[in-house]
Structure 1
Amino acid sequence: MQPLPGMSEGLGPIPIPAKSTTENKAMEVPVATILGTFHISQICIGVIGNLLLSGLYIYIFVLQPHLKKPIDSIFMHLTLVNILSIIFSSLSHVASSFGVRRFLDDIGCQSLLFSSRVIRGLSISITSLLSVFQAITISPRNTKWAWLKMKLSACIFPSFLLLWVINMLMYVHIIETVRANGNFTIVGRGYSHPYCQTIQFKSHNPDVFISVIVIYDLVFVALMICSSLYMVNLLYRHHRRVQHVHSLYLSSQSSPEHKATQTILLLVACFVFFYCANNFVTIYSFYIHEKIPKLEGIGTVLSSCYPTICPFMLMKNNKIISQFTSLISLMRITCSRREFRG
Structure 2
Amino acid sequence: MISSDIIFGIFFIFQTCIGFMGNSLLFTLYMYTFLILPHKKKPVDVILAHLTLANALTLIFRGVPNIMSSFGIKLEMSDTGCKTVLYIQRVTRSISLCTTALQSTFQAVTITPSDHKWAWLKKKISTFIQPSLLFFWTINMAIYSVIILKTVASRNTTEGGIGYYTASCKSSAYDQQTSSIFLSTVFIRDLFFLSLMTCNSIYMVNILFRHHRKAQHIRSTIQSSQSSPENKATHVILILVSCFVFFYWTNTFFTVYLVYLAKKNYHLEKFSNFFSSCYPTICSFFLIKNENRIPG
If the TM-score is normalised by the length of the shorter chain, which range does it land in?
over 0.9
1:37-48 to 2 correspondence within 5 Å?
Answer: 37-48=10-21
- Deviation sequence 1:197-252 (CA, Å, 0-9, x none): 12345475434422321221111111011111101100100111101013456557
TM-score between the two structures when normalised by the length of structure 2: 0.93
User: How big is the shift at 1:170?
Assistant: 0.4
The alignment partner of 1:93 has SS state of helix
The residue aligned with 1:110 is: 83
The residue aligned with 2:183 is: 210
Q: Which amino acid aligns with 2:248?
A: Y
The residue aligned with 2:96 is: 123
**Structure 1 residues 70 and 212, CA, compared in 2 at 3 Å: closer, same or farther?**
same
1:255 aligns with 2:228: yes
- Aligned equivalents of 1:250, 1:158: Cα separation in 2: 35
**Structure 1 residues 287 and 201, CA, compared in 2 at 3 Å: closer, same or farther?**
closer
The residue aligned with 1:335 is: none
- Deviation sequence 1:106-131 (CA, Å, 0-9, x none): 11111111111011111100100100
Q: Which amino acid aligns with 2:78?
A: D
- Aligned equivalents of 2:263, 2:201: Cα separation in 1: 39
The residue aligned with 2:276 is: 303
**Structure 1 residues 258 and 182, CA, compared in 2 at 3 Å: closer, same or farther?**
same
- Aligned equivalents of 1:161, 1:289: Cα separation in 2: 39
Specify which of 81, 97, 101 is matched with residue 54 of structure 2. 81
User: How big is the shift at 1:256?
Assistant: 1.2
RMSD: 2.0
User: How big is the shift at 1:286?
Assistant: 1.2
Aligned residue pairs, count = 296
User: How big is the shift at 1:34?
Assistant: 1.3
1:320 aligns with 2:293: yes
- Contact 2:82/2:152 (<8 A) preserved: yes
- Aligned equivalents of 1:59, 1:175: Cα separation in 2: 35
- Contact 1:274/1:306 (<8 A) preserved: yes
- Aligned equivalents of 1:62, 1:151: Cα separation in 2: 24
- Aligned equivalents of 2:133, 2:146: Cα separation in 1: 22
| Structure 1 unaligned residues grouped into runs of 5+ | 1-26, 326-342
- Contact 2:68/2:75 (<8 A) preserved: no
The residue aligned with 1:240 is: 213
User: How big is the shift at 1:60?
Assistant: 3.1
Q: Which amino acid aligns with 2:28?
A: G
TM-score between the two structures when normalised by the length of structure 1: 0.81
- Aligned equivalents of 1:252, 1:132: Cα separation in 2: 23
**Structure 1 residues 123 and 201, CA, compared in 2 at 3 Å: closer, same or farther?**
closer
The residue aligned with 1:145 is: 118
- Aligned equivalents of 1:196, 1:320: Cα separation in 2: 42
User: How big is the shift at 1:56?
Assistant: 2.5
Q: Which amino acid aligns with 2:102?
A: L
- Aligned equivalents of 1:59, 1:134: Cα separation in 2: 23
- Contact 2:157/2:167 (<8 A) preserved: no
**Structure 1 residues 254 and 276, CA, compared in 2 at 3 Å: closer, same or farther?**
same
Q: Which amino acid aligns with 1:301?
A: F
The residue aligned with 1:54 is: 27
Bigger radius of gyration among the two: 1
The alignment partner of 2:115 has SS state of coil
The residue aligned with 2:155 is: 182
1:87-102 to 2 correspondence within 5 Å?
Answer: 87-102=60-75
- Contact 1:139/1:234 (<8 A) preserved: yes
- Aligned equivalents of 1:63, 1:178: Cα separation in 2: 42
User: How big is the shift at 1:295?
Assistant: 1.6
- Contact 1:32/1:97 (<8 A) preserved: yes
User: How big is the shift at 1:255?
Assistant: 2.2
- Aligned equivalents of 1:206, 1:34: Cα separation in 2: 36
1:277 aligns with 2:241: no
- Contact 1:245/1:251 (<8 A) preserved: no
The residue aligned with 1:172 is: 145
User: How big is the shift at 1:33?
Assistant: 1.1
| Structure 2 unaligned residues grouped into runs of 5+ | none
